[in-house]
Amino acid sequence: MGTAGMKILVSDSLSKQGVELLEKAGFTVVVKSKMPKDELYQEIKDADGLIVRSGTKVTADLIAAAEKLKVVGRAGSGLDNVDTPAATRRGIVVMNTPGGNTVTTAEHTMAMIFSACRKVPQATASVKQGKWEKSKFMGIELYNKTLGIVGIGQIGGYLAKLAQGASMNVIAYDPYLAPDRAEKMGVTLMDLPELFKRADIISVHTPLTAETKSLINAQVIDTMKPGVVLINCARGGIINEADLCEALKTNRVAAAAFDVFEEEPVKPDHPLLALDNFICSPHIGAQTTEAQENVAVGIAEQIVDYFARGVAKGAVNIPSVPPELLPRLQPFLTLAERLGSLQTQLFHGGGVERVTVEYSGEVASLSVASLTIAVLKGLLTPILEHPVNYVNAPIVAKERGIEVKEVKTSDAGDFTSLIRVRVEAGKDSHQVAGTLYHKQEARVVEIDQFKVEMIPEGHMLFIQNRDRPGVIGMVGNVLGESGMNILRMQCALEKRGGNAMLIIASDTEFPAEALNQMKANPDILSVNVANLC
């Protein structure tokens, strides 16, 4: 995939370092922020890539208007403004840069903790008004206090380090964090109700989902320590704003600090803004020079990688293949896709109910999710009119009611690695298997009951015939009379006196007249062609 002539639309502000990196890679970069809707829809029509931050709403309608769009990149971590399912259905990669603002957001959270506990913004405003109200701003010491972190991913994990540096005890809730990892971090894991009971200060670091919306509400606040401090620098709505407001008025919650709100920009008459024990900032957790450069360069590099090398680093809707693993994985990706394509073209792919991909030997130790997607892409592409790619292949398979199974075994028989694809359609079941020679060269070694050794590329002809003298000569004569150039030919035998398979490779398509002539021979059982270019 080259970059020449490709257009990247940047519809929100982006650090110049990112723009320059894209231009250096050969892209045509159009930077237009805060466009009217009509102009945005016009600009997106011929864009190959779109880079946004939080300003542009990438809706299903916008995606539908993007005739050439292949990738949406979010310079930052949040994807609330991107309709990822709609993009996935269109085969568009959605990627973000979740690590680019980790340090900055964690530092801002820690600053909010200090500011809320020591009432720094209120004291500053008081002094600027000519007052000197020392007794009014009694603070809370952080030393030996317990910080409860809800969601200890990258940001929450770095916040834990900062809090430990301030001699705080850190407890956390995260169902996806392994206990041994938490132990190495010096963090005590516990369930959510227990965390709410024990923490002096609670900071939320989860995405906003149906499960996390109003995660902290009036009922939950009643289970917390009196005088707890609540921090939200993650996503507006995780803490119920109306319930928090009432708790702050009664000092059930001593203080709260928000960088995010349910509705942004927050309205000037929002009840929280009138409270002295509430401080806030305008969603600036990632707003540092360093972070903006990080996410801009990060998303630009990811887009260059995707178009130039096919590496979807940071993609949220397909398995990401780390660049260092790509040289090892790429030959398997090619093999897997061609096995899927061969299945459909040999056995016509109608009414597929189940696809089982079996990984044996060394390949079973790799992350095989992307290989299974490659099989589905190869399987579905020949039978569907709309494009099938690594993004939408699983969804297309699901929509067609195809069950997909993965099986891993350590024993690959005579091979170092083996991938076997079995497809079931009604009472029919067919399988093909392949391996790599010299860890690079794809070979098909099994087609149903036949053991073969076939290079899966180019125009392929597969003939099943009775094991009778003269069949190979007849096929050679027919192809010769048609002017066909045979690149490779091999014969596989089921058993002596049984059926055989003749496989022929050519650099041009096989003429229909020649195929029909072969089919008319009584010793020919089936004739199929496959294009594996």
Which of 90, 108, 235, 459 is labelled catalytic? Answer: 235
Is 290 an active-site residue?
A: no
Q: Which of 133, 141, 183, 264 is catalytic?
A: 264
Cα–Cα dist 43/156, whole Å: 38
Which residue from 100, 101, 83 is spatially nearest to 92, judged by alpha carbons? 83
Element (H, E) at 195: helix 192-198
Q: Which of 53, 74, 90, 283 is catalytic?
A: 283
E strands, 79-145, are: 93-96
> Among 60, 53, 233, 57, which Cα is nearest to 149's?
233
In the annotation, is 430 catalytic? no
The CA–CA distances, whole Å, from 527 to 190, 410, 446, 502, 504 equal 63, 35, 18, 10, 11
Phi and psi at 363, nearest 5°, equal -60, -25
Does residue 283 carry a catalytic annotation? yes
Extract the runs of DSSP E, i.e. beta strands, from 273-347.
278-280
List of E strands, 176-269:
188-189, 201-204, 228-232, 253-258
Q: Answer positive or negative: Cα dihedral of 253, 258, 263, 268.
A: positive
DSSP letter string over 134-172? GGGG-----TT-EEEEES-SHHHHHHHHHHHHTT-EEEE
* Cα gap 237→240, rounded to integer Å: 6
Is the N-terminal amide bond of 207 cis, ω within 30° of 0? no
Length of the chain as a residue count: 533
Q: What share of the chain is helix, strand, coil (3-state, %, to 5)?
A: 35, 25, 40
Kindly list the catalytic residues: 235, 264, 283
